[in-house]
Amino acid sequence: MTLAITKTTSTAVPAVVGADLRVPLVTGERVTYANLDHAASAPCLQEVRDAVDELLPWYASVHRGAGFASQVSTRVYEQARDRIRRFIGAHSSDAVVFTRNTTDSLNLLARSVPKNTAVVLFDSEHHAALLPWRGPNVQRIPAPSSSGAAVVALDRALAAAPVGPRLVIVTGASNVTGELWPVAELAKVARRHGARIALDAAQLAPHRPVNARELGVDYVAFSGHKIYAPFGAGVLVGRADWLQQAQPYLVGGGATSKVTDHGDRLGVAWSAVPERHEAGSPNVVGVHALAAACEILSRHWEQTVAHEQELLTRLREGLRTIPGFRELSILTDVDKVGVVSFTVSGFDAGFLAAALSAEYGIGVRDGAFCAHVIVGRLVKQVGSHEDRAVRASIGLGTTVEHVDRLVAALRTLVTEGPKWTYTQRDGRWVPEDDGRTLPPFLA
Ligand SMILES: Cc1ncc(COP(=O)(O)O)c(C=O)c1O
């Protein structure tokens, strides 16, 4: 997963929709929005929007119509499977199941594993990867502090796992710290113990090339909305056998090849994968957008990585000059994608996020980032009494000005205090007398 990073200018990366978005401040001014929340949901790529526009006149039912537009939509939907396979270097025999998002994909996998599968994962996983796996067959390994320790811990856990099917779940990049997990090394360990391995690529796929075959992973899950294609599609790619044997967890039209009436019961023949797990009318627009985003990113990896790393370095260097700033970290010896979570001593994360938005037009995330276990531990390690942090995350829409604005705004907030008054309402910090108006289409 290493990539030579070449020096490029920020303008070389694909453009995003909304780059010039103007947002109101509590003071009544308007500024260009500094979106530093790409890890939550990334803006749409301009070229993805173009691809969607191109499809929309042809939009029609998928798998259900004889009309020409239906045939076009069906072709778009089915071709997207190969486009995604190519993007992540999957085997031609791998199933590509379209879902709503990574959460859906990992829940589908959890419902598909054979009974009594021993599941091993680190407790630093996002809830989407952590919560579907609970019960006596699940081993949660405390988050290690280095990539070497991760490999040793997994080896030990698998050596102790019961005989039978085994599955390891691992994230490619942490949504809390952006740190890159040693996926290829963990996959080797898994293989040695006869275990399969599933990669949660929600945070990795938008930022680095992922090649399932080179990494040696059996399943890959990621989300369209994090990879600049926010049209409601996600995907699970991987070995077909378990998925083929599993009962669909969402049932309905499309997942069945034949339903027969036996009076007191219905006889149902489930379709083969992938349709077996795609009940209901498919999201062809989302899937087309997802495939388009994958192809666009594939053409721009060098610029994308260089752009993000340049900004990440600038952001971290700037933040380190803020009094009381403490960055959260799990693995201390790895590279990271553009995600920085931090606390500032003496300041509530929710207050900082609210003030950054209200006074500076900056969007960051605050809280425990759907990873309560690890965030709770990391904030304690940096001496915070809260169980929350602030997360700034970089993507293709980020500029030098956004990064510099965040650093300058935080410095002002921390050294001079806010220029507005804030109050807590329903557990959230909000500005008092917030006169910011919503855009006209919401009025
Ligand atoms: C590492 C990771 N895994 C899984 C998810 C879940 O993704 P989604 O909300 O698109 O299902 C996220 C979302 O933040 C994530 O960061």
pLDDT tens readout for residues 299-332: 999 999 999 999 999 999 999 999 999 999 999 9
- pLDDT of 231 reads 98
Question: How many angstroms separate the Cα of 331 from the Cα of each of 42, 58, 82, 326?
Answer: 25, 47, 34, 15
Catalytic choice (370, 382, 414, 430): 370
Closest atom of ligand 1 to CA, residue 370: 14
**DSSP states along 29-72:** -EEE-EE-BTTT-PPPBHHHHHHHHHHGGG---SSS--SHHHHH
- pLDDT of 10 reads 41
- pLDDT of 135 reads 87
Question: How many angstroms separate the Cα of 432 from the Cα of each of 22, 25, 245, 363?
Answer: 21, 12, 56, 18
∠ CA 172-399-45, rounded to 5°: 65
Domains of the chain: 3-44+300-442 (3.90.1150.10), 81-276 (3.40.640.10)
- pLDDT of 443 reads 76
Specify the DSSP class assigned to residue 135. Answer: S
Residues having CB closer than 6 A to ligand 1 are: 101-103, 126, 128-129, 171, 175, 200, 202-203, 223, 225-226, 370
* Ligand 1 mean position, distance from CA 420 (Å): 33
Spans of the chain below 50 pLDDT = 1-10
Closest atom of ligand 1 to CA, residue 226: 10
* Ligand 1 mean position, distance from CA 406 (Å): 24
* Ligand 1 mean position, distance from CA 412 (Å): 32
- pLDDT of 11 reads 52
Instruction: Let me know if 370 is a catalytic residue.
Output: yes
Q: Give 336's Cβ-side CA count (13 Å radius).
A: 26
Stretch (H or E) spanning 425: strand 422-425
Q: Which residues pair with 140 in a beta bridge?
A: 121
* Ligand 1 mean position, distance from CA 128 (Å): 6
Phi-psi region of 132 (alpha: psi -120 to 50; beta: other; left: phi over 0): alpha
Question: How many angstroms separate the Cα of 1 from the Cα of each of 153, 168, 182?
Answer: 22, 19, 9
